[in-house]
Every structure is written in C-alpha cells, then in structure tokens.
C-alpha cells in the first residue's frame, strides 16, 4: 500500500487541489482548512460536517499527522522543552514558556543549524535538514494542545533551532497559516521571526502581505568582531543587514528588534555599547540584550551582571530602547542558543537535565 499523504501543513491552495482530485467543490477545502488549523482536529472522523462519504474517501488516501513528542523536560521556572523525533535521524526541540500575562511557544525551522555561530550550541551540535511546513506548524499545534487549559494569549517566536530564512518557503507557508484568522489566528504582532539577516530572503519577507515582527541577530557593533562570532557576516554584512532591516515594513511606532548576546570580555564593554548606540541611534530600533546562556561546549562565558547593567545603561543614555532578556529554562538547556540535535540513541551532548 502506498503511504497516505499528510493533510496537515497544506495551505488553502493545496487543500483545494485535494478536493479537486476527489471531484469536490472548493468550499470543502475551506471547511477542511478550518478543521485542521483553527480547531486543530487530529482525525478526519472528527470533521462531522464533511459528510461520511467524503470522510471515508479522504481517509483512504490521506492522514493527519503532527510531529511526535518524544519527551518533555520541565524546568524549575515552568518552562517545558519538547523533543520531537522526526523521520530518520532528525530531532527538533520546541519550548513552551509561561509568563505572567502571556505564554510563548518557541519553534524550530531546521533540524540543527548550518550557520555555526561560535556561541550557539545549535550550530556547534550540527545540522541535518530543513523542516517541512507540517513539521514547523506541528510544533505549535502539539504544544498548544498540551497546554490548552491555560487561558492566556499566545505568542509565537521563530527563535528555536535553525535559521528560518535559510528555509524560506516552508517557514513562510507555516507563518501564513499561523497568522490566518481562519488558521491558528496568531496576530502578526504576536509572532516574531529572528534571523541573522539572509538578505535575499529578507527582501522576499518584506514583500509578504502579512508579516511577523522582525528580530535581527546582531551580536557585535562592527563587522570584524561580528565575523569572528558569526561566519555568515562574510556573506551578508552588518551594514547591509541593518539597512535592509530598517526598511522592513512595520506598523507606525513599531520597531525592529536587534538581539545582542553578551559574551564576557568579548563584546560586553561600555565601548562596545557606545559603538552599538552609534550604529543604531536614531533608527526604529530596540535592542534586546541576551546574557549568554552557557553550555559545556560553548567557548564563552556569561557576562557579569554589572557588565549587563552598564551596557544597558550606555544604550539608554544614548536614547536607544533597550531590554534584557531573562533566561528561561536554562536548567534544562531550553534557553536561547541551547537547543540542539540529539544523536540516534536519544542522548544529548551537553544536557545535564533529566526527563520528568
């Protein structure tokens, strides 16, 4: 028997093709779409208004498949890290982060990451492949499903494993369905995509009719240092990335976020802060400082708390909006830069945490 095709992850046009194959009218595709993404039905059986005949014809050829949760790890601070085991060797991680007034899901777009930023465990641990739309969307569906009882607004951040703009097509397909009011209905301002700034893809994203918030991984105030930390600087340069990001269409009063990971004695001095302020001053920018989340394999140290305060102080004095990201889930390696591929035995390089 041939393998059933997965309906989950198909967009409206894809579902219309499915219905056309079955000789069904296009409005059936819309019903299916709402069941898949708004109601997040996990079986065709649940879709009662499709009619029994159509359901059984669909069932003979199609299935609804979400990525399988292989394990969950619970942090002391309430953060939950999900491990999904995909086909073959690929694994991905997603993170659920409860906050006072909202809850956030951090999703991955690649199994591992090819960029090899020097301070990021994801890149250090290696790269397998791009994810498909169903694997990206499925992380959101699975995590939402498990925490459905909490009544707080959702945020989604594309800040997990991988570089989303190196997997542009699949990522944008997933984002469209996430932001669609008939889909997951995540408001665009509650969705943030973080990128090192893959310029051709960033230009394409700007041309999308509905776009997420943009966060740019900067991490250094000048090209030489950035290149030492982020090899991609050799291809897409700091100044060009900032120039493009400043053209990113955002609502009035909105800002582009610039992420800056603080590495002890590497990029965390007041002089670096002044340089950063000069670089971004006067633009629609806000800086999000991320004190390094350490791991055994990461060859850098976390900055002293005083260095973080001083750095933020310099930016604020220069009228650059600045915030400091509070680490979440550090004890289970769930914080920024700590997600990573697992080997086939399920072991995690560097993981100190135990499953629940």
| 268 in contact with ligand SAH (CB under 6 A) | no
Element (H, E) at 340: none
CA separation for the pair 146, 136 (Å, rounded): 16
Site string for ligand SAH, 325-344 (x = CB under 6 A): -----------xx-------
Element (H, E) at 13: helix 12-21
Shortest distance in whole angstroms from residue 122 CB to ligand SAH? 7
Q: Which is nearer to ligand SAH, 47 or 339 (CB)?
A: 339
Shortest distance in whole angstroms from residue 335 CB to ligand SAH? 7
| 163 in contact with ligand SAH (CB under 6 A) | yes
- Strands 68-74 and 62-63 come out as unpaired
| 311 in contact with ligand SAH (CB under 6 A) | no
Is 336 labeled as catalytic in the residue annotation? yes
Q: State the residue number with the nearest CB to ligand SAH.
A: 337
| 245 in contact with ligand SAH (CB under 6 A) | no
CA separation for the pair 3, 297 (Å, rounded): 40
Q: Which is nearer to ligand SAH, 29 or 262 (CB)?
A: 262
3-state secondary structure 268-313: CCHHHHHHHHHHHCCCCEEEEEEECCCCCCCCCCCCCHHHHHHHHH
**Do residues 116 and 123 touch, judged by C-beta distance below 8 A?**
yes
| 141 in contact with ligand SAH (CB under 6 A) | no
CA separation for the pair 214, 220 (Å, rounded): 18
> What is the sign of the dihedral through the CA atoms of 342, 345, 348 and 350?
negative
Quick one: which of 95, 261, 280, 341 contacts ligand SAH (CB under 6 A)?
Answer: 261
CA separation for the pair 29, 35 (Å, rounded): 10
The interface with ligand SAH within residues 206-235 (CB under 6 A) comprises 217
| 256 in contact with ligand SAH (CB under 6 A) | no
Among candidate residues 16, 73, 93, 259, the one labeled active-site is 93
173 SS3 class: helix
Quick one: which of 44, 111, 179, 298 contacts ligand SAH (CB under 6 A)?
Answer: 298
Q: Which is nearer to ligand SAH, 24 or 139 (CB)?
A: 139
How many residues are recorded in the chain?
Answer: 356
| 97 in contact with ligand SAH (CB under 6 A) | no
Q: Which is nearer to ligand SAH, 7 or 117 (CB)?
A: 117
Q: Which is nearer to ligand SAH, 74 or 110 (CB)?
A: 110
For the chain, the C-alpha Rg in angstroms (whole number) is 21
158 bridge partner residues: 193
Site string for ligand SAH, 167-206 (x = CB under 6 A): ---------------------------xxx----------
| CA end-to-end span of the chain | 38
| 312 in contact with ligand SAH (CB under 6 A) | no
| 93 in contact with ligand SAH (CB under 6 A) | no
CA separation for the pair 356, 343 (Å, rounded): 20
Is 146 labeled as catalytic in the residue annotation? no
CA separation for the pair 94, 184 (Å, rounded): 17
Q: Which stretch binds ligand SAH (CB under 6 A): 38-46, 114-122, 181-189, 278-286?
A: 114-122
CA separation for the pair 5, 159 (Å, rounded): 29
Give the phi and the psi of residue 294 in degrees, each rounded to 5.
Answer: -80, 160
Quick one: which of 171, 293, 330, 351 contacts ligand SAH (CB under 6 A)?
Answer: 293
Cβ atoms < 10 Å from Cβ of 270: 12
Shortest distance in whole angstroms from residue 195 CB to ligand SAH? 5
| 159 in contact with ligand SAH (CB under 6 A) | yes
Question: Where on the chain is the footprint of ligand SAH (CB under 6 A)?
Answer: 117, 119-120, 159, 163, 194-196, 217, 259, 261, 290, 292-293, 298, 336-337
List, by residue number, the catalytic residues: 93, 336
């Amino acid at each position: 028997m041939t393998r059933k095709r997965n309906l989950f992850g198909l967009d409206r046009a894809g579902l219309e093709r499915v219905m056309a194959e079955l000789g069904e009218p296009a409005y059936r595709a819309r019903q299916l779409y709402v069941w898949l993404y708004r109601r997040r039905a996990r079986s065709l059986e649940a879709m009662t208004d499709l009619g029994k005949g159509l359901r059984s014809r669909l069932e003979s050829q199609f299935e609804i498949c979400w990525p399988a949760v292989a394990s969950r790890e619970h942090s002391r601070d309430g953060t939950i890290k999900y491990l999904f085991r995909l086909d073959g060797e690929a694994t991905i991680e997603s993170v659920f982060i409860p906050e006072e007034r909202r809850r956030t899901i951090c999703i991955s777009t690649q199994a591992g990451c090819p960029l090899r930023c020097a301070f990021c465990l994801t890149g250090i641990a290696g790269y397998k492949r791009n994810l498909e739309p169903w694997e990206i969307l499925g992380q959101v569906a699975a995590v939402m499903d498990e925490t459905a009882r909490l009544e707080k607004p959702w945020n989604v951040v594309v800040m997990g494993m991988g570089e989303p703009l190196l997997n542009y097509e699949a990522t944008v397909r997933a984002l469209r369905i996430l932001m669609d009011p008939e889909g997951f209905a995540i408001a665009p301002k509650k969705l943030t995509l973080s990128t090192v700034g893959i310029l051709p893809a960033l230009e394409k994203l700007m041309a999308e009719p509905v776009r997420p918030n943009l966060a740019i991984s900067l991490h250094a105030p000048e090209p030489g240092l950035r290149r030492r930390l982020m090899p991609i600087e050799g291809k897409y340069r700091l100044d060009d990335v900032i120039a493009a990001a400043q053209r990113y269409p955002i609502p009035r009063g909105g800002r582009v976020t610039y992420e800056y990971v603080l590495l002890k004695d590497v990029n965390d001095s007041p002089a670096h802060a002044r340089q950063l302020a000069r670089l971004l001053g006067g633009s629609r920018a806000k800086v999000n400082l991320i004190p390094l989340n350490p791991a055994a394999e990461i060859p850098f140290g976390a900055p002293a708390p005083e260095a973080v305060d001083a750095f933020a102080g310099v930016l604020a004095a220069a009228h650059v909006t600045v915030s400091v990201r509070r680490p979440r889930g550090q004890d289970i390696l769930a914080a920024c830069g700590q997600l990573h591929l697992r080997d086939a035995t399920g072991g995690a390089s560097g993981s100190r945490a135990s499953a629940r």
